[in-house]
Amino acid sequence: MASRNLLRAIIMGPPGSGKGTISSWIVRDFQMSHLSSGDMLRAQMGKGTGAGVAAKEAISRGELVADDVMNEMILAELEEITGKSFLLDGYPRTVHQAEALSKAQPVDVVVNLAVPFKTIRERIENRWVHQGSGRVYHTVFNPPKNPGVDDETGEPLIQREDDKPHSVSARLDIYQKQTEPLLEFYRKEGKLAEFAGTESKVIYPEVKSHLAALFSTVA
Ligand code: ATP
Ligand code: MG
């Protein structure tokens, strides 16, 4: 890896583990391209492309989007940024996707956020939002002044459909069945770096020093 200041990374973790938050801090601190599969799918859906139409159906059923659709979309994007550092967020999510990625583009490190399911459930299932402004409350950690209503407008708070307990259970179930096996895949390759904890603010400094050390060895 002589004289290359390049880091190809994946971030993994169950839904609600803080991947989005930690990804935004990583790309800020290390100047990497952030490729979020969820964001890319939402963009495709907005444009109504073939991938977008396929994605919309799967997502509305609470399922994963087909591997072929995902591989094609992400690998095309990765080709565009050959030779640059990147952080993949939300991809790969199945062993088939990981195999397709390995063939196309090896990665240097896989960061796994090992946040307990109990913490995730408490975080997501108690989350209420004010639809108009996007203000987010938590019934225990950040409750509104008056139960069930927004502090600023007094309008009712809603719970997002995918934050309801049955949806959260379904998402965690899919994660466990289809995505968790990937950890073993990357552990065997010696690429897995695991970070356990319940709070992003506490987990991130460890992730940062791990990546900083790798950056200097590939530099
Ligand atoms: P998280 O909380 O981890 O971000 P999410 O459910 O919000 O989880 P996104 O990454 O925002 O997930 O993606 C939204 C949806 O798009 C997923 O629920 C899934 O249906 C689909 N999706 C995203 N990435 C993939 C992928 N790599 N393979 C299959 N489907 C995917
Ligand atoms: Mg998301």
Nearest CA to ligand 1 atom 6: 15
**Catalytic-labelled residue, pool 4, 28, 145, 160:** 160
Give helix 50-60 / helix 67-80 axis angle, nearest 10°.
130
Whether residue 160 lies in the annotated active site:
yes
In the chain, where are the structural domains located? 8-32+85-214
Q: Which of 42, 59, 174 to mutate to test the pocket of ligand 1 (most atoms within 8 A of CB)?
A: 59
- From residue 44, how far is each of 36, 47, 54, 80, 119 by CA, in Å? 12, 5, 10, 17, 32
Give dist(CA 101, CA 55) in Å, integer. 19
If we measure between CA atoms, which residue out of 177, 178, 36, 35 comes closest to residue 96?
178
Query: What is the reported pLDDT for 61?
Result: 80
* Angle, CA 82 vertex, CA 187 and CA 191 arms, to 5°: 10
pLDDT band at 219 (very low <50, low <70, confident <90, very high): very low
Nearest CA to ligand 1 atom 1: 15
pLDDT at 199 over 70: yes
CATH topology for 8-32+85-214 is: Rossmann fold (3.40.50)
| Atom number of ligand 1 nearest to Cα 97 | 27
Query: What is the reported pLDDT for 205?
Result: 97
Whether residue 123 lies in the annotated active site:
no
Query: What is the reported pLDDT for 59?
Result: 85
pLDDT at 82 over 90: no
| Atom number of ligand 1 nearest to Cα 93 | 27
Query: What is the reported pLDDT for 133?
Result: 93
pLDDT digits (tens, 9 = 90+) for 129-186: 999 998 989 998 899 999 999 999 999 999 988 888 888 999 999 999 999 999 999 9
pLDDT digits (tens, 9 = 90+) for 22-80: 999 999 999 899 999 999 999 999 999 999 999 998 888 888 999 999 999 999 999 99
Query: What is the reported pLDDT for 218?
Result: 54
**Average pLDDT for the chain:** 92
Query: What is the reported pLDDT for 1?
Result: 42
* pTM for the model: 0.88
Whether residue 127 lies in the annotated active site:
yes
